[in-house]
Amino acid sequence: MKKVSLFLIAAVAATSVSLFTSCDGNEGNNGEEQVITGILVNENITENTTWETGNVYVLGGRIAVVDGVTLTIEPGVIVKGQAGTNVNATALLVARGATINAVGTADLPIIFTSVADEIEPEDLEAGNFTSPNLDPDINGLWGGVIVLGKAKISASNDNDEDISEIQIEGIPTSDPNGLYGGSLDTDNSGILKYISIRHGGANIGSGNEINGLSLGGVGSGTTIENIEVVANQDDGIEWFGGTVNVKNVVVWNVGDDGIDTDQSWAGTLDNFFVITPAGHAFELDGPEGSYEAGHTIKNGTVITSEFDEENELVRSTKDLINVDDNSIVALENIYFIGVIDGQKVNRVTAAGVSFTGITIDVPADSLSNHVNGDVPAEITAGGSPVATAAGLGWTWAAQAGKLQ
């Protein structure tokens, strides 16, 4: 039987609702008709709005919270993106000057996922935070979450001239809400806490996908902590300049890089797990303009390969750490486990890159096989897990046993 989706449609800030039904041609797990209730959001958010606990909100397209407006998302809210690619890719975009206050809890996280995901508020209330029907490696079903701000970035135009603002990748240049960057390093875009973002990364063009969480020019006044990204088609989290600090992060099964930094992000990532990204564990690029600033990535555990019960390789990562000659980053207390042949720290000669307490769980006599060049004294064999899983039990990865 066909799955039937039933949505309560509400225009943003409207006081009335109407009903409709749609059939997507799929069946539920038991072949029976399934009804999904939700509130369809198909216009930009242009006045202060609250998405309330116990509700499912469905993104009908690329939805922007516009300059000067605050979107509040209460604990336990589920946001589901409809399918779409190219200019029709769905996403929640927090524009420069807008504010998002999405504050979940360990007992009631906020979930961003696809309409194909059958997770409902009742699951969250029962403490079940995993998808009931989608595997944790299914990606590209919708877009992602994008937060933009007014902090400094390092960017240039086609004439190699410095520019202070630029369009975020994944958003068509025709959308003015996609601009980010400026000069206000203390800019405040709001709060993101206890957020899980799943099954996203839809293509908008060749080689141009939406990250799980994109942070463009986000300032240090913004609070971002306790974030999970699962099965995004592109990167897990990507920073484009800005000064925001982020802590307590899980990135699992993404289709490209686990952690990606660009345009002289000047913040800190503290306490994180990166689990089997298909790209590099870290893609850490240098400045793109004359403005130069560095960031710190510390206290992390990286699982670079996954094997099945027969010890057959299921998933693996490319490079362990990939940097440019002009990258500026301090890497501190990071442990790599599950390392296999071909996985390397690709460059150790970049003057602006420093290593402190980097351990790779391989025999000492094979350590040099995993470093491209002379092995720095602060990259050693062996080691033990570094990141703290306490407090991350609410994540899908933890409930699936991936943080053990």
Rounded Cα gap, residues 151 and 326, in angstroms: 21
Written as one string, the DSSP assignment of 167-198 is: EPTTS-TT-GGGEE--S-TT---EEEEEEEEE
Asked whether residue 6 is assigned to any structural domain, the reply reads no
Rounded Cα gap, residues 342 and 153, in angstroms: 33
- Enumerate the β-bridge partners of residue 119: none
Rounded Cα gap, residues 328 and 159, in angstroms: 23
Rounded Cα gap, residues 266 and 280, in angstroms: 21
- How do strand 56-59 and strand 70-73 relate by DSSP bridges? unpaired
Q: Would you state the pLDDT for residue 21?
A: 36
pLDDT tens digits, residue range 228-244?
Answer: 999 999 999 999 999 99
Asked whether residue 12 is assigned to any structural domain, the reply reads no
Asked whether residue 21 is assigned to any structural domain, the reply reads no
Asked whether residue 404 is assigned to any structural domain, the reply reads no
Query: Among candidates 156, 45, 125, 52, which has minimal Cα distance to 92?
Result: 45
Rounded Cα gap, residues 191 and 250, in angstroms: 17
Assign 3-state DSSP to the chain and report helix, strand, coil percentages, each to 5: 5, 40, 55
Which amino acid is it at 230?
V
Asked whether residue 120 is assigned to any structural domain, the reply reads yes
**Domain containing residue 152:** 33-399
Asked whether residue 14 is assigned to any structural domain, the reply reads no
Q: Would you state the pLDDT for residue 14?
A: 32
Written as one string, the DSSP assignment of 106-166 is: SSS-EEEEETT----HHHHHTT--S-SSS-TT---SS--EEEE-SS---EE-TTS-EES-E
Q: Would you state the pLDDT for residue 24?
A: 47
Count of the separate structural domains present in the chain:
1
Asked whether residue 299 is assigned to any structural domain, the reply reads yes
Q: Cβ distance 37 to 6 under 8 Å?
A: yes
Asked whether residue 27 is assigned to any structural domain, the reply reads no
Residues (pLDDT < 70) of the chain are: 1-36, 205-207
